[in-house]
Amino acid sequence: MAIPRAARTQRRTRIQEEKEEQILEAALEVFSQHGFRGATIDQIADVAGMSKPNLLYYFRTKDAMHRALIDRVLDTWLDPLRAFDANGNPQSEIRSYIRRKLELARDFPRESRLFANEVLQGAPHIEDELKGPLKSLVDEKAQVIRAWAETGKIAKCDPYHLIFAIWSTTQHYADFDVQVRAVLGQDHAGEGRFEDAARFLEGMFVKGLEIHE
């Protein structure tokens, strides 16, 4: 995990913490708009309202800011999957997972675009995370889904592609929000679009996993 330079001091002050958050908020805005390659330290300093030397006191490089943000995003994004309970009702667990993912799309669209940009560039900064902790977590939850299918609680399915499908459909509402709102039009593009999406996706995935005699 990336640690801000100021965080390495023995006594980290409230002002240091506030400055780091100010910088990361500005970095998130710039990275989500321009991607890692298109973003510059000068842009981030400008958005943060700080001088470049002051910014570099807290984060020495663009990579350090980007990695700190990506670490946060990964942790937040994986929380709903961690909550996937093997002992829960499969239909309820899938519904809850869809809703949690849509809530993240609604509340953290810039973080979603930051992550999408990283992956589209080949995940150069997080490949180890994807192949390590992320893969381990998905393997664990895939076993849960497979066990549900084997015990007749849901229809047989490929658990990995089920997870991928939920990821892609829910995160679409963050990564392609402009397109979603444009197509839905003024009457349907308000906050209610997320509830509409939740009901549709719940129906599609849950009904699709029903067992038919």
Per-residue pLDDT of the chain (213 residues; tens, 9 = 90+): 454 554 454 566 888 889 999 999 999 999 988 888 899 999 999 999 999 999 999 999 999 999 999 988 888 889 999 998 999 999 999 999 999 999 999 999 999 999 998 898 898 888 999 999 999 999 999 999 999 999 999 999 999 999 999 999 999 999 999 999 999 998 887 888 999 999 999 999 999 998 866
Q: Confirm whether 5-64 and 71-208 share one CATH topology.
A: no
Query: Residue 4 has what pLDDT?
Result: 52
Query: Residue 125 has what pLDDT?
Result: 85
Query: Residue 7 has what pLDDT?
Result: 47
pTM of the model: 0.85
The correct CATH number of 71-208 out of 3.40.50.300, 1.10.357.10, 3.30.1490.20, 1.10.10.10 is: 1.10.357.10
**CATH superfamily ID and name for 5-64:** Homeodomain-like (1.10.10.60)
Size of the chain in residues: 213
Query: Residue 213 has what pLDDT?
Result: 62
Domain boundaries along the sequence of the chain: 5-64, 71-208
